[in-house]
Amino acid sequence: MKNIRVILGCTIPVNNQNVYYDIKMKGLTKEYLGEMEIEKREYEQPFYVDQYNRIIESLKGFREMEYLMELNSFYIVEYFDEDMTQDILWFADILKAFLFFKNGIVAAGLNFLIKSSFAKGIEFMKNICDFKLLDNIFAEFLFGNSIKNKEPKIAEFISMLSEKNPKEIYIPNNGEFFIHPAGLYYENRVFNLDYLKIGSGVIAEWENNNTNDPNAVRLWTEKGIDLGYVPRCIASTLAFHIKRGAKYSGVVAAILPKVYNDDMRLTIKLSGSY
């Protein structure tokens, strides 16, 4: 049985958290993830390039690796059988997806997962993520704006896995969730991203006079800067509860550089309460 070692350095600025994962895996193939033994510990500092390079220098096997500058995070896969290279290459996209998911950047993570293997990716996430984040991943695929071509097979796979509707993550008093605002490319809103900071406060406001969408929910910073809208299929749930007295607010969780599609560049972490 072939063994590999996976090292993940995950910087999560919105939570002021830096998590290091050392994972030993037995039997990885395209059909089988194998057994996983996970060690996890937290660091005080983000994972900068110099630390990444020091870890690489300490390894002796073949390596598939990447430092994601936009996340200050990295993955390294160490293996000792060159015949495993093709199996490792598809698995690397799952590891990238995980690093984006942990930062709440669900759209970018989904793109990597769909490119690799959605089913195997979710199997990996179930071993290493909490169930709330899994529900958020499912909800973004089904109801968010970021995935334009929603493959029916993936939607069917999600319905088989989910005992409850993933959309329930958006109801009040149910913890935090991540969304990607819609409409950033209208009215030059995308230029506001250049001035945002992670952790900046965000307010969600129902637009009861919106003639195009009576459930429209607008997103603003606490200084009144326009961040677009909650995606329509998600906004209907938020608006239902706002009309009944709930309030939603949150923070800027992540901002990706301009090379990414506008629909996934900004991540907002929200929660609602009555």
Mind giving me the DSSP string for 49-66?
Answer: HHHHHHHHHT--SEEEEE
Alpha-carbon span 134 to 131, nearest angstrom: 5
Least confident of 35-39, 56-60, 154-158: 154-158
> What dihedral do alpha carbons 166, 170, 174, 176 form, nearest 10°?
100
Residue 150 pLDDT > 80, yes or no? no
Cα distances (angstroms) measured from residue 144 to each of 30, 229, 237: 29, 11, 12
Residue 254 pLDDT > 80, yes or no? yes
What Rg do the C-alpha atoms of the chain give, in angstroms? 19
pLDDT tens digits, residue range 86-97? 778 888 999 999
Neighbours of 250 (CB within 10 A): 21
Decide: 273 and 34 in contact? Cβ < 8 Å: no
More confident residue, 196 or 84: 196
Alpha-carbon span 88 to 90, nearest angstrom: 6
Q: Strand 73-79 to strand 177-179: parallel, antiparallel, or no bridges (unpaired)?
A: unpaired
Decide: 30 and 90 in contact? Cβ < 8 Å: yes
Longest dimension (CA), the chain: 63
The domains of the chain, with CATH numbers, are: 3-123 (no CATH), 166-273 (3.30.70.2330)
Assign 3-class secondary structure to 126-140: HHHCCHHHHHHHHHH
Cα distances (angstroms) measured from residue 264 to each of 21, 122, 178, 196, 267: 26, 20, 11, 15, 7
Q: What is the mean pLDDT of the chain?
A: 92
The pLDDT value recorded for residue 185 is 86
pLDDT tier for residue 156 given thresholds of 50, 70 and 90: confident
Mind giving me the DSSP string for 97-112?
Answer: HHHHHHTT-HHHHHHH
Nearest to 178 by CA among 114, 214, 132, 237: 132
Find where tokens 């110099």 sit.
50
Mind giving me the DSSP string for 209-229?
Answer: T-SS-TT-EEEEETT--EEEE
The pLDDT value recorded for residue 84 is 81
